[in-house]
Structure 1
Amino acid sequence: MATELSAALNQRGPIRTIGVIGMGYVGIPSAALFASVPGIRRAYGFQRNSPTSGYKIRMLNEGKNPLKGEEPGLDKLLADVVHKGVFHCTDDFTSIQECDAVTIAIQTPFKSPEDLIPDLTALEEGLRQAGRYLTRGTLVVLESTITPGTTCGWAREVLEEESGLLAGRDFALAHAPERVMVGRLIQNIQEHDRIVGGIDEDSTRRAIELYQPVLTKGQIIPMTATAAEVTKTAENTFRDLQIAAANQLALYCEAMGVNFYDVRTGIDSLKGDGITRAILWPGAGVGGHCLTKDTYHLERGVDVAGRTPLDYPQGHESLFVLARHVNDFMPRHTFHLVRQGLSCVGKEVSGSRIAILGFSFLPNTDDARNTPTEQFVNICQIHGAVTEIHDPWVHEYPGFSLSSDIEPVVKDADVLVLMTAHRMYYALDYDWVKRMMRPFPVLVDGRNIVDPDVIIRAGFVYEGIGRGDKNRYPRD
């Protein structure tokens, strides 16, 4: 039986005009891919013309990519869709009334790391802009990572309040979470399976119609909106848990004087029916917009979307929250290795010069959101160290001085700390680095970038995460 919504969607016809609110790491590649779909007449990118992000409007309309770092395929795709006149970026949100579908890709950070309450200010503004110009038969899709229960609850209420329309009757509403990694945005959108969850069956079908043409290898996985929210927050929570398990094991290996990477190889060698091993890599900390907060979105969802009380041992933190604590601890452990290395050569942290290589949280990108390097630098400075930071991609960040020239960063340094696995650090001439540093230099490898034996032979005191077999040199 046809519903009022299905009738509104049929009257609207096929999706031909698409709007994407939020021109960031998700919105830009999504809008460009929508614009490349045959039959799409126009894809709008909606962006506030603010002092900090308004420059994106001009760059995008010139066919230029405002995202720094390596993003294969994105530069050419943007140039093509702008040249063909299909894609246009604007701060004029009234054009939403032309759109058959509108997606919202706006960050949902925490207000502060202490209260872990999501800051929905920017998302609410995006929702209100969409609702203000919403017309009958439009599809609205939230791509932002959100607490389970948000789409069917708060987001729906905001859209209905602004539009005067009813979700599920006058317009379709769905959640289709982004599943991308900076550095391979286009590939991820096209090749990863797409989770699509509508507030009803008509909304789900319309959202599938929107995303299906963009996929090359990926498949559509339909479900409810709340299940889609749980899927997104849970998959990031599980990855965070896997990283925490590797970090915890690395700490054990250091304490017992063994090589984590030997242990990892040994564990991974056991294969067969019913045997699953998914040991990731330890490191100096977990950063980014997703893994650092999605555990808490998932936890909060039990209250927001919960239908029955949670049955769980009272007074105990969840396994997921414990994993978060382990990963949050790793920058502090990296500092412990710095202090341990300096003690080998009779130096104190206070007054030492620490050269830090890498500020972004991901290799070969400028994405420094929630970077663990920020916490590490703050710890070093609290203990009286002088810090210098090099990054080839991140040129500025509030409250920090960054250099794209490595020489002044490493010159006269007591400690070199590898915080990000940028490609250039693998090829760095560490003999030259040693000559630039002060006598008896210390190298702390937070990302398993260098060969400890090579570094030790070059004359460094080596300290590495998970390298209990080498971190004792030269104390024994």
Structure 2
Amino acid sequence: MSNKLKDILDKKGPIKNIGVVGMGYVGIPAAMLFANSPAFDHVYGFQRNSKSSGYKIDMLNRGESPLKGEEPGLEDLIKKVVQANKFKCISDFSKISELDAVTLSIQTPFKNPKDLIPDFSALTEGITLVGKYIKEGSLVVLESTITPGTTNSMARQILEKESGMKAGVDFALAHAPERVMVSRLLKNIQEHDRVIGGIDDISTKRAIELYSPVLTKGKVIPMTATAAEVTKTAENTFRDLQIAAANELALYCEAMGINFYEVRAGIDSLKGEGITRAILWPGAGVGGHCLTKDTYHLERGVKTNGGKLDYLQEEESLFVLARHINDFMPKHMFNLTIAALERVGETPKDANIAMLGWAFLKNSDDARNTPSEYYRDLMLSVGAKVKVHDPYVREYPGVDISHDLNEVISGSDAIAIFTGHDVYMDMVRTANNIKRLMGKYNPIIIDGRNIVNPDEYIEAGFIYKGIGRGDKNSHSIVNL
């Protein structure tokens, strides 16, 4: 602990002006909540003025949200803080020199999960820019999910090199991982407990000062920076594991000809003292920026922090195996589609496939690492023709996204449901109307999100296949 840093912060006074680097699903809502707090005077959102994302600057400064999924309260909050002159989005990073605290919310994907080498290029660029402009007494907080040990090693080294100062002596440094889910961003930031880990006690206390004003129900959980990094990677790894357990059980139920959802209800019914059940739902795959990579950050942390792991010899990590199971689910959707086509004597070559949903999460426009892409690639590889519909995703590199649901369904041989958007919940209740649009005697529907009523579709003449529906996947074909 440095008395010098404490003296600097005491002289500097409370945090008033904040910068948020990275205007995405994490940075935008965080910046708006900081700006809306009476504890702070002004917030700057820092966004590179690039071809791919520079448009966000003007949108935010007009009080508009670049996020096009359903985010309750976000658009109104953006308008409010912009009109109150408490928020501005800029690309001039030199403004950081005038701020008391800077947070970084930048993606940290993996180039290749097999070699456990993350792509920290965007994060290191952001840290470098911050390091160039921070002043004595600044607080720097990494919100990005990172390999355990990164804050106190790579991030610290870059900041010290660029600033010419020492972390924990001249400026404060901490990790406070985001814990949000798309479609409930504001709610999550305010109501979830906030894990805050500084490189020392003074840094932790300064970061607590930053985040406490935006918490409503959530409380602060202080710890070391590395413990905070492990907490974030582990909580996402555990959720991925829980989903994988549901997915594998669903595959078992299919193989045994029973209904996963009946089994799940039975498991979930056991209540009582000392009994914990956390069985989640199976589905067409896991997407997004977090769950698809955080297992690998956790695995890498074990390998890069110098400790010796006492574990089963020559056995794969349970967490990595879970990741592989979830990665397999789009392939399972492909296998179900091929099996359904075979039931009506068809091959995938030249089959017309209507994919419903490109975003990985319902009522969201977030298509990062979407499982839909793997399925589409598989169908195209066997000669199928694929059309994609999503009401929220406006565009995606190399993929035409239609917003006309009827046009995508019309003339298709098979429908594959990948996302549980509300618009699909309404659509799938009308089997006969969908059959007329498809124009097939025995059209196919592959339900990856347990949306449709199998009996209704089977009775209408459909070939039905659903994840976890072993009781229905081999049904008799109804010829009307």
TM-score bracket, normalised by the shorter chain, equals over 0.9
CA distance in 2, matches of 1:9, 1:418: 54
For residues 321 and 40 of structure 2, what CA distance do their matches in structure 1 show?
A: 46
Matches within 5 A, 1:17-416: 17-112=17-112, 115-306=115-306, 308-416=307-415
For residues 408 and 245 of structure 1, the distance between their equivalents in structure 2, rounded to whole angstroms, comes to 37
Letter in 1 for 2:463: V
- Where 1:388 maps in the other structure, the secondary structure is strand
Mapped contact 2:73–2:186 kept (Cα < 8 A): yes
Using the TM superposition, give the Cα deviation of residue 226 of structure 1 relative to its aligned residue in structure 2, in angstroms.
0.1
Report the secondary structure of 1:77's partner residue.
helix
Residues 344 and 474 in structure 1, CA contact (< 8 A), matched pair in contact too: no
Q: 1:453 aligns with which of 452, 455, 465?
A: 455
Distance in 1 separating the partners of 2:112 and 2:227: 27
Please give the alpha-carbon distance, in whole angstroms, between the structure 2 residues aligned to 1:392 and 1:59: 21
User: Per-residue displacement from partner, 1:19-40 (whole Å, max 9, x unpaired)?
Assistant: 0000000000100100011131
Q: Which amino acid aligns with 2:33?
A: L
Distance 1:70 1:202 in 2: 38
Once the two structures are TM-superposed, the CA of residue 330 in structure 1 deviates from its matched residue by: 0.3
Q: Which consecutive residues of structure 1, in runs of 5 or more, have no partner in the other structure?
A: none
Q: Which amino acid is the alignment partner of residue 360 of structure 2?
A: F
**1-structure distance, mates of 2:385, 2:116:** 31
The runs of at least 4 aligned residues of structure 1 exceeding 3 Å deviation read: 112-116
> 3-state DSSP class of the match of 1:416?
strand
CA distance in 2, matches of 1:141, 1:317: 34
Q: CA deviation at 1:454?
A: 1.4
TM-superposed CA distance for 1:358, in Å, is: 0.3
CA offset digits 1:35-82 (Å, max 9, x no partner): 011131110000000011111111111111111110001111110111
Separation in 1, partners of 2:296, 2:113: 11
User: How many angstroms does 1:458 deviate by?
Assistant: 2.1
Question: Cα deviations across residues 392-445 of structure 1 (Å, max 9, x unaligned)?
Answer: 011210111110001221111110110000000010033221111122101000
Deviation readout 1:353-403 (Å, 9 max, x if unpaired): 111000000001110000000000001111111111000011210111110
- One-letter amino acid matched to 1:459: G
Identity value in percent: 63
Query: Distance between the aligned counterparts of 1:457 and 1:162, measured in 2?
Result: 68
- Supply the distance in 1 between the matched residues of 2:31 and 2:63 (Cα, whole angstroms): 12
Residue 432 of structure 2 aligns with which residue?
Answer: 431
Query: What is the rounded CA distance, in whole Å, between the counterparts of 2:81 and 2:476 in structure 1?
Result: 58
1:239-296 alpha-carbon deviations (Å, 9 max, x no partner): 0000000000000000000000000000111111111111000001000000000000
1:116 deviation in Å?
4.2
Cα distance in 2 for residues equivalent to 1:319 and 1:98: 47
Residue 419 of structure 1 aligns with an amino acid whose one-letter code is F
Contact 1:11 1:137 in 2 (8 A): no
Which letter does structure 2 place at the counterpart of 1:432? N
Q: What value does the CA root-mean-square deviation take over the aligned residues?
A: 1.2
Q: Secondary structure at the match of 1:203?
A: helix
Q: CA deviation at 1:318?
A: 0.7
Distance (whole Å) between structure 2 residues aligned to residue 8 and residue 21 of structure 1: 24
Deviation at 1:12, TM superposition (A): 1.3
Distance, in Å, in 1 between the alignment partners of 2:234 and 2:38 is 34
Q: CA deviation at 1:346?
A: 1.1
SS at match of 1:448: coil
Contiguous gaps of at least 5 residues in structure 2: none
Structure 1 stretch 214-223 or stretch 267-276: which is displaced more? 267-276
- Corresponding residue SS for 2:406: helix
Residue identity in the other structure for 1:332: K
Instruction: Please state whether the residue corresponding to 2:110 is helix, strand or coil.
Output: coil
Letter of the 2:299 counterpart: E
Q: Which amino acid aligns with 1:273?
A: E
Number of paired residues? 475
Find the residue that maps to 2:207 and give its secondary structure: helix
Task: Give the TM-score, by structure 1 length.
Answer: 0.98
- Structure 1 residue 114, shift from structure 2 partner: 5.2
Per-residue CA deviation, residues 314-342 of structure 1 (Å, 9 max, x unaligned), is 21111001101100100000111101111
CA contact (8 A) 2:462 2:477 kept: no
- Partners of 1:39 and 1:198 lie apart in 2 by 21
